[in-house]
Chain A
Amino acid sequence: MQNGPVQERSAYARESDGDLLVYMSMAKDDPAASRSAWEEFYSRHATYLYAVCFRAYGCLLGGEPGVCDLVADTFRRAYEHAGTFEDGGVTDSTRQRIRARAWLGRIAQRLVQSALRSRSRTPMRFLDQWEWQNLAQARPKAPKAGPQIKSVREALMALPEREQLVLRVTMQWYRPGELHQRLPNEVTSDLARTLQTTPENLRQIRRRALHKVEGLLRDAEAQTKKREERDG
């Protein structure tokens, strides 16, 4: 990636991400070091975070200005809560970079969830302590992108806009490894208002969309089976 933040060569350029976060967490004892560490951290990850946030939330946040706010806010929270980052005993700098980016992603995701909950322009609440502790925890491993994922991807893109929107918002609460994905009531109500329908109809839309995807998956599976039988 190129065209990142403009910054002079930092004294912290050789520090690992884990160490930068430790320096950042010492803002009270050494504000200058803390700030320099944050600047280095920002320089390393801002372009990445902007790119993934734009891809995920550009359409929900109104494009570039909203995504810029989200990225700035994410780094601000990362600075304020640097002490909650857990390096998991990882010393390899590449693994630390990936771990730090996953952590930044979790912060951004929580901020978007919070914004979705407070669309009625009530002040965005700060993340609770338990949420910060939860952010630090490792997540279940992601499955490999097999043919089933490819089929789901195709099915998702084929859904009507309304169903896509419902699933897209629902997916912001997707928790890997958990079966029941619950959308907060206030988000359900707000989304229903946006679509000029009722929360019950919204549930129907979601259910219908999920069944469509399920059906498409079954068809894809049956076709694969048939092909395998035919090919012996």
Chain B
Amino acid sequence: MTAKEGHSPEQSAGAESASAGIGEAAILLGWIVPTREEDVLCAERDLAAGPVTLPERLRDVKSVFEGMGQVLPKVEISRFVPDNPQVDAALARAAREAGRLTSEIEERMRCDRKAAEEEREKDGHGKDVR
């Protein structure tokens, strides 16, 4: 999808320029994983604000390696859950504080899990196979 179709060159240029600005802001917002060295440094500074807890599943190095020989569940995009900055901040804080969760965050995580489960129950054409 480009900004080429159906509008003036000025509009295109403006939208594309905004797009580049948004890209850079998205990196700073953490919407895009850092892929440049400068962005890694920024992310490291952000993360240094508090300890991050690795989920149990990723904590045992040996079992993660053993798991590499098997077919991993493939990365799947589940239903989009729009960001709520307050909930996200609380989630990040909870992760740093070893998982003390408020009821609002637990509800958000429950919805996430439910959406992921529903998605897994669909076949290749998006039909429900339950």
Contact = CB atoms under 8 A, between A and B. Distances in A.
Contacts of B92: 55
B30 A52 contact: yes
Interface in B85-113: 85, 91-92, 95, 98, 109, 112-113
Interface in A147-172: 148-149, 152-153, 156-157, 161, 164-165, 167-168, 170-172
Given A46-B58, A142-B27, 15 more contacts: A2-B53, A38-B65, A54-B95, A59-B83, A62-B112, A62-B113, A115-B74, A119-B77, A139-B35, A140-B36, A174-B27, A179-B16, A179-B20, A181-B20, A213-B22
18 contacts: A3-B51, A39-B62, A42-B61, A51-B47, A60-B77, A62-B112, A69-B73, A102-B36, A112-B75, A139-B36, A152-B22, A152-B25, A157-B29, A165-B80, A174-B27, A188-B1, A194-B80, A211-B14
Contacts of B112: 62-63
A76 B32 CA distance: 21
Interface of B: 1-5, 7, 11, 14-44, 47-48, 51-55, 57-62, 64-65, 67-68, 72-83, 85, 91-92, 95, 98, 109, 112-113, 115-116, 119, 122-126
Given A6-B60, A52-B43, A56-B31, A66 B78 contact: yes
A1 B47 contact: yes
Contacts of A6: 59-61
Interface string A105-118: 11011011011100
A72 interface: yes
Contacts of A232: none
A215 B18 CA distance: 9
A165 to B, nearest CB: 5
A214 interface: yes
Contacts of B43: 48, 51-52
Contact of A121 (B7, B16, B57, B76): B76
A176 interface: yes
A79 interface: yes
A23 interface: no
